Structures are given as structure tokens and as C-alpha cells.
């Protein structure tokens, strides 16, 4: 029988027979000290960077307020805490957390179910034996959530978005699988045999002794950000995209009882892996509002889960200190706080990107006496591929940012290692990747004729999509300025000036290349981040949020860079820098300029709060509960509580279809057939669309509505002060005049 030390998987950085060959391992030693002049140069460089960082303007706030905001201005909130308290509790102040308990309960139920499913998944793959307890926790939750997402999609396509179809049968199947595994384990234990499938791993790797600059207890710096993100996740949505489709699409699927092609909202036909958690939560709650908040909370939880994944990866690949710093830097970064608490999906994309990379870096032959079907690199390759597929299901850019580069990297590694293309490991990776996201492409292929709808129009075409729409889409979403000046300006945003960057991520990541014992692995991670930035700059809409999933790689590099020196001066300097950065980042996270922060205001007040719900939306919620509203130019429709008809900027205009070239009697009959009792046109949004090139709005003009009023089809509602929209009531009787002209 082998000694335990001989059978335990290797710890620390991957060995030379792993996924990547990083050269000989040179363990850190307290005997190695950096020269004083290099330490002084590094500290001076950090000081210069921080001065430039805090002096940089906040472009988003300047655009909103026409005031010269600079980062260091945010420290004023520390000197005026009453401003924060007023924002957190509202004015007049109110405190409520009890109404959050149902949201937390539903989110916790979905997360718990996902954890059990993911644990079964790891056991079925035999990947659990390669993972620590922390690894298994993170991978189980992440994989289980994607399994639940895929199941919810399948149930929706089958028209079974009811509690029995979406919850009952799969819940019983989960309990049955757990019972079967437990029975197998007990049976195997009674025979003193190694269980083929198990829920716990007896021989799991443990992190090495760490003599880095920070111990595990410094993880407490991340706790306030985790709490802030979860509190923000439970708040009603304010972001345009979230109210247009991240929560609106599952709301519509829930109300209609199935998932199908959505002709009026092109975004609802894309991959919506994370949005399925909201749909599942709506089914659990039996209510779209409560379920949406629970789903938004689950999306927010991806950020703390990502921090745990960084801690796990850092301590396995580098050192415990590297994992601690990576987790704190990542979770405190303003971009991660914002996208996670506001309900956007980049936090989930970052998590799956990181886990796919981590699983590949852990991939190596194991000396453990497992059956052949579980040996070699197959379990971790399958796990990495499934996480890559989950990143694609969260958002289409996962194809470019995750699946493609990791596939190419896997091919290149095996060609370098064996001199030939190893199709089996690459095939296993791609098969698992397809399992993680393939149903989304199959659904779109069947429903729209284009697996990547609305992308790749010239290859696949697509239902309701035209060459004109495709040209407008490309005009808006593709970059057009490839000059050296544009490159320099955008790269400056990435490394310094992007509004919600943290002050330590980039400079500490650069220091990772200084550490000799980890330089090659750090170079690979840095190269991957550079690829993401170049892909973003060359092909995507140049919004900083789009490259924010790459911040997980930056944080991991920052963890490595934090341990570049072992001197007492550096350790004390690092602690001071982390405290300063955490203070600034916390102000960004909880202050109004950094996001939405009504953490303790009751839901009853927030649901129709004027600060987030349009005045006309509130009017129709109060006065048109039994009717149906046709919205023109308004696509933020989540908060409308009555039935609505709307279309996004590039979908066919419903108003134009019902009105153009029709006599007044025909227009009124068309409105009545659709059940339309009110019409609302948002001239402010239409002006913004015209200014930015979003769609064609030639038909929608004030004179068209004036003619409908004169013809007796529409009756104007009283104007709301300080609003760029106009509401109308559809008249049910009386004579009508001439047809409105386009």
C-alpha cells in the first residue's frame, strides 16, 4: 500500500507534465531579498501610478453632471458619512431587511440545489479527486448553476415552465441521484473498496505552507464588498440593459409559460444562461417581481464566488498569500461591484473564464489509483470545457474571449509537447464546451434559422433579420477608429483611466512578471489578458464593461505580484496600499456615484420610486391596470405591471405596422384587435436613438400622432412635467377623420 504522501496529488504550480511547461520550479526563500534600489524603484513607481490614478477624471460622472469629477473627490464621502446614510436609508429614512428575506430564501434555495447538482457532476466526472475542498465548493456551485440553467431552458422550450415540470420532476431526480450515490458509497465502504462515485474525497490536496506577505485572515478585507454586492443585488434594477432584457426576457417567458422566438426583442433571442436563474426563481416564487430580484441576487453572488475561486487558484498555483490578495483585489474592484450588483452578467462570465483556465492549469496525470476511465487528464479537461461552455451561454463574447483562445492554447500545447495534434484531449474539451452551451445554439437554429442569432447574418441569415438591420447592427457594435491615437487612448483607459478600476490591480499585476519562480506562468496569464483586450479593441463595442471579465486574470496576476519581495518594508507597504485601495473602493461601492445604493429602503417604496421608475410608467401602473399599452421608443419595460407591446431599437416597429398607410378606422380597429388601450411615445429615447444611429425612426414623428388625435383615434393624456414623453388614450367610439400620412 502506498504511503499517503506518495499518493497525494502534487501541490502548488503545475508540474512539467501538466498543461503548460513553465520551466524548473524555484521555490521562494526568505534568504532571497530584493536589492534596495529595486525596491525603492518599485515603491516610487507605485506612488507615481497612484497619483495619476487618483487625479484621473471620472468621465461617466462628468458626462452626467457637467462637473469636473476626479477620483480623489470621492474621499469626501468619508468626511461626510451622513450623505451615505441618507442614500442607504432614503429620505425620510426608513430601514427594512425583513422584506429581503424571501429574496434571500429563494436565491439560497436555487444556489443550494445547484451546489448538490454540481457535486454530483464532479463525482460523475471523477474530477473531485483532483480538487481541494474549496475547489470542489466553487466548481460545484458554478457547474451546478449552468446545469440548472440548461434544464430551465429545456423545460421552457418544452412549454413546462410550471412548478411540476421545472421544479418537481428534476428535484425528485436530484434526490434520487443523491440517494443512489450515498448507497453506492455505503456499499463500497462496507466492502473496504474505493468507491467509484462519491460525494467526498478522502485524499484531497492541501495547500502548501505559505510564507507570503499576507495570511488568510486578511480575507476580511473582502467581506464588506461581498455584503455590499449582495445587498445591491437584492435591489430592484436601474440599468437599461437589465430592464430591457436581462430581467425582462425571463419575465416574458414566465408570463407566457414557454420559451420561444421573440420578434420584438432581439436580445431575448441570444444566449441567456444567467437569465435562466431569474426565470427559475420566478417559478419558485410564483411571481415575476420577487423571482427577478432573487435571480438578480444569484447573479450578484457570482462575484463573491469568483473571489473564492481566485483564492483557490492562487493558493494552488502560487501561494496562499497570492490567493488572498487576488480575492481582495478582484472583489473590491469597482467594475466587479457595479456589474454584479446592477444585474449585468459580466461577473458570471469572469467566473467561468477563470474556472476554465484554472481547470486547465490543474490538468496533469495523477498518480492516484483510479480506474482508467477516470485517469489521465480527461476529468479536468471535461470540467474546463464545461466551464468554457458556461461562459458562452452567459454571453456570446464567451466564444471569442474564452472558448476560442483556450481551444487554440490546448492545441498549441499538445503540438509543442508531442509534435502532433492530439485530437482526443481537444475533442473532449470541445465536447464538454458544447454540453455547456450547445442547447442555446440549437434553440436559435430551430426557432430563427441562425444558431448565433442575430450574429453571422451573412452565413446563416435569420428570422425577421435583414441586410439593412445587419448593417445598422454592425455600424453600432463594431469599432471604426483603428488609429494609433485611438489605440493609445483606449489602452490608457484599460490600465489607468477606466472609471471604475481599482488602484492596485494593474500595478501589482505588472510586478508578477518580476517573480522569477512564476514568471512563465504569469506571462501566459498576462498574454491571455492582452488577447482579451486586443479582441475587444478589434471586434467589439469599445465599452469598458465588455473586457471586465478579464479582470479575474488581472487579479490573479496581482496576487502573484504582491509576493514579488519578502522584505519587511514591502510587506508593510503592501498592507498600507491594500487598506488605502480598500477604503477608496468601498466608497465607490457604497456611494451614489458608484452605483445604486438604497440598501435598506423598503421594497414597497422602491418598487415605484421616482428615482428609478419613469413617471409615465408609474402613471400607467396606476391608471391602466386593465388595459394594454403600446410603447413607442421605450424599451425599458421591466417595471410595467400591465401588458405592454413594445419593440427594441432594431426590431420591426409595431406602431408603424399598425398605423402606416391605414385609414383612421383601420388604425382604431387594429388597436382594438391588439387590446391596446393606451399609447406612449418617448421622444427623449427616440432622439437618443437617432443621435447614436440606433435604428430607423423616420415614420415616428409628432405630426403622425397629431393626425391621429385630429382623426379621433387618440386622445392626449395630461402632460407630465419635465418629461420628454407623451401619453394617449385610444378612443373607443365616435367618428374618425382622414388617414394619417407618413
Q: Dihedral, CA atoms, 571, 576, 578, 582, nearest 10 degrees?
A: 160
The pLDDT tens digits of the residues spanning 464-504 come to 999 999 999 999 999 999 999 999 999 999 999 999 999 99
Per-residue pLDDT at 147 exceeds 60: yes
Other C-beta atoms lying within 10 Å of the C-beta of residue 661: 10
Q: Looking at residue 10, what is its pLDDT?
A: 40
Query: Of 424, 438, 435, 566, which is closest to residue 38 (Cα–Cα)?
Result: 566
Mean pLDDT for the chain? Answer: 88
> Is 730's pLDDT higher than 90?
yes
* Residue 301 CB partners (closer than 8 Å, separation 6+): 107, 111, 229, 230, 233
Q: State the average pLDDT over residues 645-664.
A: 95
More confident residue, 249 or 59: 249
Contact 385, 431 (CB under 8 A): yes
- Least reliable range by pLDDT among 3-12, 135-144, 451-460: 3-12
- 163 within 8 A of 283, measured Cβ to Cβ: yes
Whether the upstream peptide bond of residue 692 has omega within 30° of 0, thus cis, is no
Sign of CA dihedral 442, 444, 447, 453: negative
Angstrom distance (rounded) from CA 707 to CA 709: 5
* Sole residue written with cell 478582484: 330
H or E stretch covering 678: strand 678-682
Q: How confident is the model at residue 81 (pLDDT cuts 50, 70, 90)?
A: confident
pLDDT at residue 181 tops 90: no
Q: What average pLDDT does range 322-338 have in this prediction?
A: 97
Greater pLDDT, 207 or 427: 427
**Grid cell digits, residue 694:** 440606433
Outline where 517-550 has alpha helix (H): 519-539, 544-547
Name the percent of the chain lying above pLDDT 70. Answer: 88
pLDDT number for residue 615: 96
- As a whole number of Å, the CA-based R_g of the chain is 27
Whose cell is 496562499? That residue is 320
With contact defined as beta carbons under 8 Å apart, do 407 and 430 qualify?
yes
Closest CA to 299 of 219, 395, 400: 395
Does 84 score more than 90 pLDDT?
no
Q: What is the pLDDT of residue 70?
A: 87
- Per-residue pLDDT at 706: 96
CB 62 within 8 Å of CB 71:
no
DSSP 718-733: PPPTT-SEEEEEE--S
pLDDT digits (tens, 9 = 90+) for 695-713: 889 999 999 999 999 999 9
Check residue 206 and give its pLDDT: 52
pLDDT of residue 17 exceeding 70: no
Indicate if the pLDDT at residue 208 is higher than 90: no
The answer, yes or no, to whether residue 284 has pLDDT greater than 50, is yes
What per-residue confidence (pLDDT) applies to 416? Answer: 82
- The answer, yes or no, to whether residue 65 has pLDDT greater than 90, is no
What pLDDT does residue 741 have? Answer: 45
- On the question of pLDDT at 83 being above 90, the answer is no
3-class SS string, 405-428:
HHHHHHHHHHHHHHCCCCHHHHHH
Q: What is the pTM of this model?
A: 0.90
Residue 23: pLDDT over 70? no
Within 10 angstroms of residue 67's Cβ, the number of other Cβ atoms is: 9
Residue appearing with cell numbers 501538466 = 18
CA gap 716, 420 in Å, rounded: 73
Q: SS3 of 632, please? A: strand
C-alpha cell at 95: 430601514
Phi, psi of 716 (to 5 degrees): -65, 140
Count of beta carbons in the 10 Å neighbourhood of residue 332: 30
CA atoms of 736 and 722, how far apart (whole Å):
31
Contact at 8 Å (CB) between 596 and 604? no
Question: In which band, very low, low, confident or very high, does the pLDDT at 194 lie, cut at 50, 70 and 90?
Answer: very low
Amino acid at each position: 500500500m502506498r504511503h499517503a504522501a506518495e499518493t497525494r496529488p502534487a501541490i502548488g504550480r503545475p508540474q512539467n507534465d501538466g498543461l503548460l511547461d513553465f520551466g524548473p520550479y524555484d521555490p521562494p526563500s526568505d534568504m532571497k531579498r530584493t536589492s534596495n534600489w529595486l525596491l525603492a524603484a518599485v515603491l516610487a513607481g507605485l506612488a507615481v501610478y497612484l497619483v495619476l490614478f487618483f487625479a484621473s477624471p471620472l468621465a461617466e460622472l462628468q458626462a452626467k453632471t457637467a462637473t469636473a469629477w476626479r477620483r480623489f473627490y470621492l474621499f469626501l464621502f468619508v468626511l461626510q458619512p451622513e450623505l451615505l446614510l441618507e442614500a442607504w436609508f432614503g429620505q425620510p429614512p426608513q430601514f427594512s431587511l425583513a422584506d429581503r428575506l424571501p429574496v434571500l430564501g429563494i436565491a439560497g434555495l436555487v444556489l443550494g440545489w445547484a451546489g448538490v447538482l454540481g457535486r454530483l457532476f464532479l463525482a460523475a466526472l471523477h474530477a473531485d479527486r483532483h480538487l481541494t475542498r474549496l475547489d470542489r465548493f466553487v466548481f460545484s456551485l458554478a457547474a451546478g448553476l449552468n446545469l440548472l440553467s440548461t434544464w430551465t431552458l429545456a423545460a421552457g422550450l418544452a412549454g413546462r415552465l410550471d412548478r411540476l415540470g421545472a421544479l418537481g420532476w428534476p428535484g425528485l431526480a436530484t434526490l434520487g441521484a443523491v440517494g443512489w450515490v450515498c448507497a453506492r458509497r455505503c456499499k463500497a465502504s462496507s466492502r473496504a473498496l474505493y468507491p467509484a462515485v462519491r460525494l467526498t474525497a478522502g485524499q484531497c490536496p492541501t495547500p502548501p505552507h505559505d510564507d507570503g506577505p499576507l495570511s488568510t485572515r486578511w480575507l476580511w478585507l473582502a467581506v464588506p464588498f461581498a455584503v455590499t454586492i449582495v445587498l445591491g443585488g437584492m435591489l430592484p434594477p436601474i440599468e437599461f440593459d437589465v430592464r430591457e432584457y436581462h430581467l425582462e426576457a425571463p419575465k416574458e417567458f414566465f408570463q407566457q409559460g414557454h420559451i420561444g422566438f421573440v420578434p420584438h426583442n432581439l436580445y431575448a433571442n441570444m444566449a441567456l444562461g444567467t437569465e435562466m436563474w431569474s426565470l427559475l426563481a420566478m417559478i419558485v416564487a410564483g411571481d415575476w417581481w420577487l423571482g427577478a430580484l432573487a435571480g438578480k441576487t444569484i447573479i450578484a453572488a457570482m462575484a463573491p464566488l469568483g473571489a473564492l475561486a481566485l483564492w483557490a487558484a492562487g493558493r494552488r498555483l502560487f501561494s496562499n498569500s497570492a490567493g488572498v490578495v487576488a480575492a481582495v483585489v478582484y472583489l473590491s474592484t469597482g467594475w466587479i461591484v457595479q456589474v454584479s450588483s446592477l444585474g449585468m452578467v459580466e461577473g458570471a462570465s469572469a467566473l467561468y473564464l477563470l474556472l476554465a483556465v484554472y481547470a486547465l492549469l490543474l490538468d496533469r496525470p495523477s498518480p492516484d489509483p483510479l480506474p482508467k476511465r477516470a485517469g489521465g487528464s480527461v476529468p479536468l479537461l471535461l470540467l474546463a470545457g464545461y466551464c468554457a461552455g458556461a461562459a458562452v451561454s452567459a454571453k456570446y463574447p464567451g466564444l471569442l474571449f474564452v472558448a476560442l483562445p483556450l481551444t487554440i492554447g490546448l492545441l498549441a500545447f499538445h503540438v509543442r509537447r508531442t509534435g502532433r495534434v492530439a485530437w482526443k484531449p481537444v475533442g473532449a474539451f470541445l465536447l464538454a464546451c458544447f454540453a455547456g452551451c450547445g442547447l442555446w445554439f440549437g434553440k436559435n437554429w430551430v426557432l430563427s434559422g441562425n444558431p448565433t442569432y442575430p450574429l453571422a447574418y451573412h452565413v446563416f441569415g435569420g428570422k425577421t433579420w435583414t441586410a439593412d438591420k445587419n448593417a445598422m447592427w454592425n455600424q453600432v457594435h463594431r469599432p471604426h477608429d483603428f488609429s494609433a491615437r485611438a489605440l493609445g487612448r483606449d489602452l490608457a483607459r484599460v490600465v489607468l483611466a477606466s472609471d471604475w478600476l481599482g488602484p492596485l490591480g494593474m500595478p501589482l499585476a505588472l510586478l508578477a512578471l518580476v517573480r522569477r519562480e512564476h514568471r512563465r506562468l504569469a506571462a501566459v496569464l498576462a498574454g491571455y489578458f492582452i488577447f482579451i483586450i486586443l479582441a475587444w479593441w478589434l471586434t467589439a463595442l469599445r465599452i469598458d464593461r465588455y473586457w471586465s471579465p478579464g479582470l479575474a486574470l488581472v487579479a490573479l496576476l496581482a496576487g502573484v505580484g504582491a509576493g514579488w519581495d519578502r522584505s519587511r518594508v514591502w510587506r508593510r507597504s503592501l498592507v498600507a496600499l491594500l487598506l488605502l485601495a480598500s477604503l477608496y473602493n468601498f466608497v465607490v461601492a457604497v456611494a451614489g456615484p458608484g452605483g445604486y445604493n438604497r440598501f435598506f429602503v423598503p421594497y414597497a417604496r422602491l418598487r415605484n420610486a421616482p428615482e428609478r421608475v419613469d413617471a409615465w410608467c408609474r402613471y400607467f401602473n396606476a391608471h391602466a391596470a386593465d388595459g394594454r399599452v403600446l410603447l413607442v421608443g421605450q424599451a425599458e419595460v421591466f417595471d410595467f405591471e400591465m401588458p405592454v407591446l413594445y419593440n427594441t431599437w432594431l426590431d420591426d416597429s409595431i406602431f408603424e405596422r399598425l398605423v402606416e398607410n391605414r385609414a383612421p378606422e383601420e388604425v382604431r380597429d387594429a388597436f382594438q384587435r391588439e387590446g391596446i388601450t393606451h399609447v406612449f411615445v418617448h421622444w427623449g429615447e427616440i432622439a437618443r436613438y437617432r443621435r447614436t444611429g440606433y435604428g430607423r425612426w423616420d415614420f415616428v414623428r409628432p405630426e403622425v400622432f397629431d393626425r391621429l388625435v385630429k382623426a379621433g383615434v387618440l386622445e392626449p393624456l395630461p402632460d407630465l412635467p419635465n418629461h420628454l414623453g407623451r401619453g394617449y388614450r385610444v378612443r373607443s367610439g365616435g367618428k374618425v377623420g382622414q388617414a394619417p400620412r407618413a
